[in-house]
Structure 1
Amino acid sequence: MMKTTKRNIGSLVFITVLMLSVSCKETNKKSTPSAKESVEKQEVLDETGTMGSEQNVSSESVLEDYFNLKNALVEDDNNSAKKMGGVLAASLGNLNKSAYTDSQQETLAAIAEDAQKYAVEISSSDLDSQREHFKYLSVIITNMIAITGSESTVYEQYCPMYDGGTAWLSTEKAVLNPYYGSSMLRCGTVQREIN
C-alpha cells in the first residue's frame, strides 16, 4: 500500500513537471521532458525503490522511459542517458504481461529481455555507444508496441544518415534526432504514425 502511494505521488510529480515543461520554441508541438526532468524522475524512483520490487509496470511506463532516454540522447547528455538506461532496464524487467495471451506473453518476455540488455549497455556506455545501442533498442520497442499498442500516437522517425539509415520513436511529429543530437538535430523524417 505504501509503495503504491509513493509511486502514485512520484508519478503525479513527474506528470506535473511534464505538463509544465516548455516545448522546443515551436508552436503546436507537444512538450517533452528534458534530460534534467528525466533525472528527477530517476531520483524519485531511487527514493521509493518501487521499480525493482514489483511486477506491474505497464507498457506505457516502458514507453515513457524509452522517450526519456531518447530525449537525453537528443540533448547529447551522456550522464542522463546512463541514468535513463537504468530506469528503462528496470521497467522492462518488471513489465506486466498478464493482460495478454500466452503467446503474446511469451513474445513480450523475449522482447523485454532483449531490450533490457541494450538498456543496461546504455547505462554504462559513452555517448557514441549509447546511440549505437539505442538503434537496436528502438527496433525492439517498436516490436513491443506491435503487441501492446499505445494510448497516444507514436511517430516512427527515420534518419537516412546514421549507420545507413536508422529509425526511432517519438511522441511528437517534430524531428529531434537522438543519433546526432545538436550536430544534426533536425535530420530525419516521419515514416509513419503508430496508434
Structure 2
Amino acid sequence: MNNIKLFLPALLLFFVACNQVEQKNEETTKNDSTSVSKPVDIELKDANTDLAYDQYLKLKDVLVLSDSTQTQSAAKDLASTLAKITGTENITKMATDMASEVSLSKQRIIFTTLSTELITMFKKAEITSGSMFVQYCPMANEGEGGYWLASETEIRNPYYGDEMLNCGEVKEAIEKK
C-alpha cells in the first residue's frame, strides 16, 4: 500500500509535466506522427549553414518517427554538410557518431548534445528571413531534459516519438537580428 502512495504522485507529476492541450481543429486532426513536417520558410545567409539547418530538421523529424535507420541516413547527410563549415569539427563528429549508431536510444542521447551545439551555432548565424524555435522537453534523458530546434511552434518531440509526441514547450524564437 505504501508503494502505491509513493507511485501515484510520481505518475501524476509525469502526466502533468507533459500534458498539453491540443486545439480541436481540422489542422490538428490532419497532423499525425507518421508524417514528416516540411521546413517553414527560413533562410540563412550562408548556403551550407542553411542546408545544415534543413538537414537537422530532417534528422529531428525521423527521430520523431522513431526510425533508427532513417536517423542514420539523416545524420550522415548532416555530418557531410557540417564538414564544409569552418569550426564545426566537434559537431561534425557528433553527427558522424550518430550516423554509425544503430540504437535509437543512443541516437537520441547523441541528439541531445548535437542539438545543444547546433542551437549555439544557429544563434550566431545570420538569418535573412523566417524563424527557428528552440523547444524543450523536461522528461527527455531520464528527466535531465533536452532541447531541439524546430521550424514551427507545434511540438513534435524527437526524444519520445509517439510515446509523448506533444511533450515540450517553445523556449525561444531565433530570428533575424
Under a length normalisation based on structure 1, what TM-score does the superposition of the two structures give?
Answer: 0.64
Superposed CA offset, 1:96-120 (max 9, x none): xxxxxxxxxxxxx33x111111111
Q: Residues 78 and 95 of structure 2 are in contact (CA less than 8 Å); yes or no, is this contact kept in structure 1?
A: yes
Distance 1:24 1:157, change over 3 A: farther
Structure 1: gaps spanning 5 or more residues: 1-21, 35-55, 96-108
**Alpha-carbon distance between aligned partners in 1 of 2:58 and 2:67, rounded to the nearest angstrom:** 11
Structure 2: gaps spanning 5 or more residues: 1-26, 40-45
Shift of 1:122: 1.1
Matched AA of 1:25: K
Does structure 1 residue 153 correspond to structure 2 residue 162?
no
Report the equivalent of 2:97. 121
Is the partner of 1:58 in helix, strand or coil?
A: helix
- Residue of 44, 54, 71 corresponding to 1:81: 71
Does structure 1 residue 194 correspond to structure 2 residue 157?
no
**Percentage of matched positions with identical amino acids:** 30
Matched AA of 1:142: I
Q: Residues 48 and 82 of structure 2 are in contact (CA less than 8 Å); yes or no, is this contact kept in structure 1?
A: no
Matched AA of 2:151: T
Larger Rg, first or second structure (1 or 2)? 2
Q: Residues 33 and 71 of structure 1 are in contact (CA less than 8 Å); yes or no, is this contact kept in structure 2?
A: no
Matched AA of 1:88: L
Distance 1:84 1:148, change over 3 A: same
Shift of 1:32: 1.8
**Alpha-carbon distance between aligned partners in 1 of 2:122 and 2:99, rounded to the nearest angstrom:** 23
Under a length normalisation based on structure 2, what TM-score does the superposition of the two structures give?
Answer: 0.70
Distance 1:62 1:187, change over 3 A: same
Report the equivalent of 1:90. 80
Is the partner of 2:170 in helix, strand or coil?
A: strand
Higher helix share: 1
Superposed CA offset, 1:51-106 (max 9, x none): xxxxx8521101001000000000001111000000000000112xxxxxxxxxxx
Higher strand share: 2
Matched AA of 2:150: S
**Alpha-carbon distance between aligned partners in 1 of 2:29 and 2:57, rounded to the nearest angstrom:** 15
Does structure 1 residue 172 correspond to structure 2 residue 177?
no
- Residue of 170, 182, 187 corresponding to 2:162: 182
Matched AA of 1:60: D
Matches within 5 A, 1:56-75: 57-75=47-65
**Alpha-carbon distance between aligned partners in 2 of 1:24 and 1:175, rounded to the nearest angstrom:** 15
Report the equivalent of 1:136. 113
**Alpha-carbon distance between aligned partners in 1 of 2:96 and 2:124, rounded to the nearest angstrom:** 23
